[in-house]
Structure 1
Amino acid sequence: MEIAVLGGTGLIGSQVVKKLNAAGHRAVPHSQSTGVDVISGRGLDRAVAGADVIVNLTNSPTFDEASAAFFRTSMDNLLAAGRKGGARHFVILSIVGVDQVPELDYYRAKALQEEILAAGPIPYSIVRATQFMEFVDAVLSWTADADTVRLPATPIQPIAAEDVADAVAEVAAGAPLGGVRNIAGPEVFPLDELGRITLSHRSDGRTVVTDPSAGMFAAVRGDVLTDRNARLAPTRYADWLS
Structure 2
Amino acid sequence: MRVVIIGGTGLIGTKVAAILRREGHDVLQASPATGVNTLTGEGLSDALTGAEVVVDLANSPSFEPSAVLSFFEQSTSNLIKAEKAATVPHHVALSIVGIERSPGNGYFPGKVAQEAVVKAGGVPYTIIRSTQFMEFMSGIIDGATDGQTVHASPGAFQPIAADDVAAFVSEAATSAPLNGTIEIAGPEKKPMSDFLAGYLAATHDARTVVVDKEARYFGSLVDEQSLVPLGPAKLGKFDVKTWFRQRTQSAA
Q: Shorter chain as normaliser: what TM range?
A: over 0.9
Shift of 1:21: 1.3
Amino acid at match of 1:185: G
- Do 2:154 and 2:222's aligned partners in 1 also have CA atoms closer than 8 Å? no
Match of 1:34? 34
Match of 1:151? 152
Measure the CA separation in 1 of the matches of 2:223 and 2:209: 20
Shift of 1:28: 0.9
Shift of 1:118: 0.3
Match of 1:225? 227
User: How many corresponding residue pairs?
Assistant: 242
- Do 2:156 and 2:223's aligned partners in 1 also have CA atoms closer than 8 Å? no
Amino acid at match of 1:240: W
Shift of 1:99: 2.2
Amino acid at match of 1:15: K
Out of 240, 244, 247, the residue aligned to residue 241 of structure 1 is: 244
Note the alpha carbon deviations across 1:61-101, whole angstroms, 9 max, x for none.
Answer: 23332211000000111011111112000000001112222
Match of 2:7? 7
Amino acid at match of 2:224: G
Shift of 1:105: 2.1
Show the 5 A alignment for 1:76-225: 76-216=77-217, 218-225=220-227
Amino acid at match of 2:33: S
- Do 1:183 and 1:232's aligned partners in 2 also have CA atoms closer than 8 Å? yes
Note the alpha carbon deviations across 1:7-59, whole angstroms, 9 max, x for none.
Answer: 00100001111111111211110011111111111111111111011111001
Aligned to 1:68, what secondary structure does the other structure show?
Answer: helix
- Do 1:45 and 1:81's aligned partners in 2 also have CA atoms closer than 8 Å? yes
Measure the CA separation in 2 of the matches of 1:215 and 1:36: 36
Q: TM-score, normalization: structure 1?
A: 0.96
- Do 1:101 and 1:107's aligned partners in 2 also have CA atoms closer than 8 Å? yes
Amino acid at match of 2:32: Q
Note the alpha carbon deviations across 1:173-202, whole angstroms, 9 max, x for none.
Answer: 110010011111000121111111001111
Which 10-residue stretch deviates more, 227-236 or 195-204? 227-236
Match of 2:69? 68
- Do 1:154 and 1:191's aligned partners in 2 also have CA atoms closer than 8 Å? yes
Amino acid at match of 1:22: R
Match of 2:248? none
Aligned to 2:183, what secondary structure does the other structure show?
Answer: strand
Aligned to 2:206, what secondary structure does the other structure show?
Answer: coil
Which 10-residue stretch deviates more, 125-134 or 220-229? 220-229
5+ residue gaps, structure 2, are 246-252
5+ residue gaps, structure 1, are none
